[in-house]
């Protein structure tokens, strides 16, 4: 198995079933690791989760629950063959972290990729993000 310098086993991990890490997933994990509140990042085939809290079930998965108290988290769906990335979930109990997360994801995603938000229940956050980042499609 190849060694990935960005996978440190503490902050950034991947599931064992993931034999290779696509470059876009590597870039996303590296950029999201720069957001101090996102203490744990885990790569799955076709998905990335990052959070300030780990699950208590022994699997050490970042917890992503929309609106949970004190939580800063994001879950991304990554479709490499179709070059698309979707924000499946994003929550931030810390003011400004949501924008930092969106900025990191947009910066790490190749220009030719589609960036989307399939459901907007935010009350205006995603509309503001789409204005700030024209590549982002919100529907």
Domain range for residue 128?
A: 12-138
For 79-106, the pLDDT digits (tens) are: 999 999 999 999 999 999 999 999 999 9
For residue 4, is it within any domain?
A: no
This prediction has a pTM of 0.93
72 pairs with which residues across the strands?
92
Residue whose C-alpha is closest to residue 72's, from 107, 40, 29: 40
Residue whose C-alpha is closest to residue 30's, from 107, 82, 133: 107
For residue 3, is it within any domain?
A: no
> In whole angstroms, how far apart are CA 134 and each of 17, 57, 76, 90, 111?
35, 39, 19, 19, 11
Tally the domains of the chain. 1
- The H-or-E segment that residue 84 falls in is strand 84-92
For residue 36, is it within any domain?
A: yes
Q: What pLDDT, on a 0 to 100 scale, did the predictor assign at position 6? A: 75
Alpha helices in 16-90 (DSSP H): 23-32
User: Average pLDDT of 115-136?
Assistant: 96
At a CB cut-off of 8 Å and minimum separation 6, what does 2 contact?
20
Q: What pLDDT, on a 0 to 100 scale, did the predictor assign at position 5? A: 63
């Amino acid at each position: 198995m190849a060694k990935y310098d960005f996978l440190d086993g503490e902050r950034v991990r991947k599931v064992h079933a993931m034999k290779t890490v696509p470059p876009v997933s590597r870039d996303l994990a590296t950029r999201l690791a720069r957001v101090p509140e996102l203490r744990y990042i885990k790569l799955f085939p076709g998905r990335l989760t990052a959070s300030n809290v780990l699950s208590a079930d022994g699997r050490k998965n970042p917890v992503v629950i929309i609106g949970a108290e004190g939580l800063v988290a994001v879950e991304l769906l990554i479709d490499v063959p179709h070059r698309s990335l979707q924000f499946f979930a994003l929550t931030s109990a810390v003011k400004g972290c949501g924008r930092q997360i969106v900025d990191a994801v947009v910066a790490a995603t190749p220009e030719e990729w589609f960036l989307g938000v399939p459901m907007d229940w935010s009350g205006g956050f995603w509309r503001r993000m789409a204005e700030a980042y024209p590549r982002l499609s919100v529907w």
